[in-house]
Structure 1
Amino acid sequence: MDSPLAAVAKLAGFYLRKGGRLPILIVAVAVFLLAAVLYGEDMRSLAEYSWWRYKALYETDYAPGDPFVPETCDLSDGDWVFDQDYPPYREGDCEFLSKQVSCLQNGRPDTLYQKWRWQPKNCSLPRSVPVSSSVDSMLCDSDLFKTRSPDSTPGGCWSGYETVVPRGRRSRIVDGSRIIFPIKEYHASIEFYWAPFLVESNSDEPEFHSIPVRVINPDSVEKHAAHWKGADVLVFNSYIWWMNDPRMKVLRPGAKNWTEHQEIGRKEAYERVLRTVFDWVDRNLDPNSSSVFFMSMSPLHGRSMDWGNPNGVKCAKEREPIRNMSGVHIGTEMGLWALARKAAASTARVPVAFVDITAMSERRKDAHTSVFTMQQGKVLTPEQKAEPAKFADCLHWCVPGIPDTWNQLIYARFLSGRRPQRYFNATLALEMLRGKRMLFVGDQGPVAPGRKYKQKQDAGGQGVGRDYTAEHYAAVRVQEGCTHADIQEAVESVDGGAASKPEKLR
């Protein structure tokens, strides 16, 4: 029996021999069948999860985007609608995209998770659209600052703004706890500052923070805040690092070192930290020139029973959002969410916008990196991918994906009361940042080429006497529990016995 493509070819030949034109239906069928042959796997994916199916389910009459998003509009109340024009950029457009979140490159077979657009119920977000070739990348969220910590909260948004800079004109400066992307043409910068608990803690070293006993000083922020002064846009977040234990270790008043601590409840500690941070904001920022945001928590999807899939394994093989959240409880610590919202609304002098990403993100069990990610610097092997219960990452997000929506929320809130815009693209984002310093503060931290990695301290608080470059760190792969002698010996073997100087910051 002839294949469908052969049958269509015979029918086309009959019409051509008769000297007639091919009917448009035959041409269309031939093209479709040829595509099915050439792109069989992709066509099967589309057949299973076609946009026509989703168009029927999620048909929505949306405008290109509201030119003005009113401050009274609840951007967190809405639905994920299927949009065949999404995503507005591709993985390859992002120069600094971490391979950890490059899900397609890591073997994910479908792109459906990229095709959902957030639609608030009572207004529309400025719509993401492609831009000219002179600015060839959209707000790709590189997740660059989530590779070391088990966190995928909104600090990743900052690196989305980083990629609005035209390709070829991007530079990166690594300076201790700061990563800086200068935008010279716009006299602006986009920065990230590593502070996992926002206040001072014994986990503040951006590279050596895997400490068995984490202690915070909930009433002290000045060491960090010295780097925040002068920022025009400040975006705070802190969540996952709070979830290891229901009780937190806090420094005792008058303590001389981190061993002098006591335990208090997690909520009490979180509330004290927020009060400390927002008190600093009120005292040190100008409400006429500074915009301050606090991003709510990003959820995990580690239990498929939470959304009624008893046969599932964590978030593995999930292909669509949760449609009905009635009775669904993902397990996010909403007590901390409530404290953050209340604290953001309580500032006396400088307004703090609470950007709620939690509920919308809880629906997206389909958008995590799952087994299409990296572990210890290597893409998961086929054998590891076959064990999702052990290896699926249901915390980090694929990019393009949900973090881009978080960026849109910041953009919409930033524009409230300013010049209306229907669309959101890289050019407009750059104009938004002209002459400004945008700083993200939170619990994501980069492993960036050229970074200086400070040594761990010994029991007496002393270092081993040198700094490490990214190349040293990657070669040594320092694991928790190594002694300083082990580290130095390994580094010296990398150097061939020579104590080389760290790379200079570019």
Structure 2
Amino acid sequence: MEKKIKRTMGIWEVRYMFESSIIIFLIIGALATTTVYYVNDSNEQETSVDVISHTPHNVNNKDVYDSLDGCDLFRGKWVHDNDSYPLYMEHQCPYIPGEFSCEEYGRTDLKYQQWRWQPHACNLPRFDAKRVLEKLRGKRVMFVGDSVNRNQWLSMVCMLQSVIPLGLKKMHKVANASLFTFKAFEYDVSIDFYWAPLLVESNADHPSKHKRSDRVINIQSIEKHAKNWLNADILVFNSYLWWGTPTLKILHGSFADSKRYNIISNHDGYKMVLEKWSNWFTTHIDHKRTQSYFMSMTATHQRGVDWGMQGTENCLNETEPVMKEDFWESGSDLKMMRILESSLDNLKSRGVNVQLVNITQLTQYRKDGHPSIHRLFYSTLKAKQLSNPKGYADCTHWCLPGVPDTWNELLLAYIIQRLN
């Protein structure tokens, strides 16, 4: 190297060669460091676009809550992210019931807990339980609907409760009502769930004893349930699964004194009930005070042929999402979705804004997120059932932690924005 330097730099004197070598070494090191920096910076920018990183995302991005204009939160893809997720551990949340405690009931593949929803055109902010509780301080959030809405309510409780000290939180069922409430005393926050799977009075109104092969509703009776919703600051509705039978009965009169009824289609019944709900909702809720949301239908992965399986397979033993964009499972009733959208559009034309939280497409992909056989069953399974696990696999509800946590991240994006 010394000879090469003498040939090309002959004008240098020997006494300066040692110092010059040091300078060259420092210059080369600086250039190398700069190159590495720009390569890494380029990779980080590419990662944020292609969404392949497992690092926590948008930790400091609070502005996403400030404006959702032009951003479709519901079009995107699931990205494996085992650094950021799960948002809580199953064993750390004492409120998860046996229906959703998949790990406790034998599920060992835990990848279902580690998926992040990535919208195509924007990002969701990193969930921050303390920030959410501060924003909700003094408020009452109420989920109203069926067991999937209960699934989401418990997810919200688990997401928030971990930062609340023991003695400053409480879960209990309200006596003589279909109401369950979680209190965060430090923040004066109430996160409640009210069981009303068909929104109006029905033969499925008992919060635990409601297994019915038929559906009977008293469409004129919404006040029995709705009077319990009046003092909520945030209302989150759902109603879909219990409309799955082809027909239902509409009573003439009350359950106490009438046995006369009409039989109508589930679609006609859904439309009539949403109209009754809309009329009550328009006149009884203070819409300047109360934020209102309606969760769209969720997928039930009962037919494995939809994603390429053979025979009668379903969600049993599924461990990965469907990665095909716009995948749609055949059990989802698109007509029901259109009826809901039309009802909410009609409400909007009357000056009442109920935000649709459209989780339908993102749940289509998550065939891996259900409890399947990994849950508590409240009746003893018979030998014949046990010999055919896919016959009793639960492909309707969702493991916690898991997919419902994402529903709440989407819901909170709207709630927090409106509270800013």
TM-score bin, normalised by smaller chain? 0.7 to 0.9
Equivalent position of 2:52 in the other structure: 59
Assess, with a 3 A threshold, how the Cα gap between structure 1 residues 377 and 251 changes in structure 2: closer, same or farther.
closer
Q: Determine if contact 2:302/2:331 at 8 Å carries over to the other structure.
A: no
- Deviation at residue 327 of structure 1 after TM alignment: 6.2
State the distance in 2 between where 1:393 and 1:89 align.
23
Name the structure 2 match of 1:43: none
Instruction: State, as a whole percentage, how many aligned pairs show the same letter.
Output: 35
Aligned-pair distance for 1:340?
1.0
Structure 1: distance between partners of 2:260 and 2:154: 37
Q: Which moved more, 1:253-262 or 1:219-228?
A: 253-262
**Equivalent residue, structure 1, for 2:363:** 361
Structure 1 residues 254 and 157: CA distance shift in structure 2, 3 A: closer
Residue type at the aligned position of 2:227: A
Over residues 221-275 of structure 1, what are the superposed CA-to-partner deviations in whole Å (9 max), with x where a residue is unaligned? 11111111111111111111111x2112111368873521111121111011111
Deviation at 1:342, TM superposition (A): 1.8
* 1:404 aligned partner, one-letter code: D
Q: Provide structure 1 residue ranges, at least 5 long, that are not aligned to the other structure.
A: 1-54, 136-144, 420-506
Rate the CA distance shift 1:386–1:212 in 2: closer, same or farther, 3 A: closer
Q: Which residue of 2 aligns with 1:350?
A: 352
Gaps in structure 2 of 5+ consecutive residues: 1-47, 134-142
Structure 2 contact 398–404 (Cα < 8 Å) conserved = yes
Q: Which residue of the partner structure matches residue 396 of structure 1? A: 397
| Aligned residue type for 1:153 | V
Query: What is the distance in 2 between the residues matched to 1:275 and 1:59?
Result: 44
Q: Which residue in the other structure is 1:98 paired with?
A: 97
Partner of 1:108: 107
1:374 aligns with 2:376: yes
1:381 Cα offset (Å): 11
Q: 1:71 touches 1:416 (CA, 8 Å); kept in 2?
A: no
2:415 equivalent in structure 1: 414
Give secondary structure in 2 for the equivalent of 1:190. Answer: strand
Shift of 1:205: 2.5
Letter in 1 for 2:149: P
Alignment of 1:285-296 (within 5 A): 285-296=285-296
Is it true that 1:182 corresponds to 2:183 in the alignment? yes
String of CA shifts for 1:411-459, please: whole Å, max 9, x gaps. 011123443xxxxxxxxxxxxxxxxxxxxxxxxxxxxxxxxxxxxxxxx
2:208 is matched with which residue?
207
CA distance in 1, matches of 2:315, 2:75: 23
Task: Determine the structure 1 residue equivalent to 2:155.
Answer: 160
How far residue 409 of structure 1 moved from its aligned partner, in angstroms, is 1.2
Question: Contact 1:202–1:258 (CA<8 Å) still a contact in 2?
Answer: no
Change (3 A) 1:319 1:154: same
Which residue matches 1:301? 301
Question: Number of residue pairs matched?
Answer: 350
Separation (CA, whole Å) in 1 of partners of 2:384 and 2:263: 42
Rounded to whole Å, the distance in 2 between the matches of 1:367 and 1:385 is 21
Deviations 1:369-389 (A, max 9, x none): 1121121267x8999776322
Q: Which has the larger radius of gyration?
A: 2
How far is the alpha carbon of 1:337 from its aligned partner? 1.0
Partner of 1:77: 75
Q: Determine whether 1:229 maps to 2:230.
A: yes
Q: Which amino acid aligns with 2:73?
A: L
Q: Structure 1: how far apart are the matches of 2:255 and 2:319?
A: 51
Q: What whole-Å deviation, never above 9, does each CA across 1:108-142 have from its counterpart, x for those lacking one? A: 1211111110011112112225879xx9xxxxxxx
User: Structure with the greater relative contact order (CA < 8 A, sep ≥ 6): 1 or 2?
Assistant: 1
CA spacing shift, 1:381–1:368, aligned 2, 3 Å: farther
Q: Return the TM-score normalized by structure 2.
A: 0.75
Check the 8 A contact 2:236/2:294 in 1, yes or no: yes
Partner residue of 1:40? none
CA RMSD between the two structures: 3.2
User: Structure 1 residues 259, 108: closer, same or farther in 2, change over 3 A?
Assistant: same
Partner residue, 2:18: none
SS at match of 2:250: strand
Q: Which whole-Å CA distance do the structure 2 matches of 1:171 and 1:255 have between them?
A: 35
Write the deviation string for residues 350-395 of structure 1: whole angstroms up to 9, x where unpaired. 31011111110010001111121121267x8999776322232111
Tell me: CA distance 1:107–1:253, structure 2 relative to 1, closer, same or farther (3 Å): closer
Q: Output the CA distance in 2 between the equivalents of 1:228 and 1:384.
A: 40
Distance 1:213 1:112, change over 3 A: closer
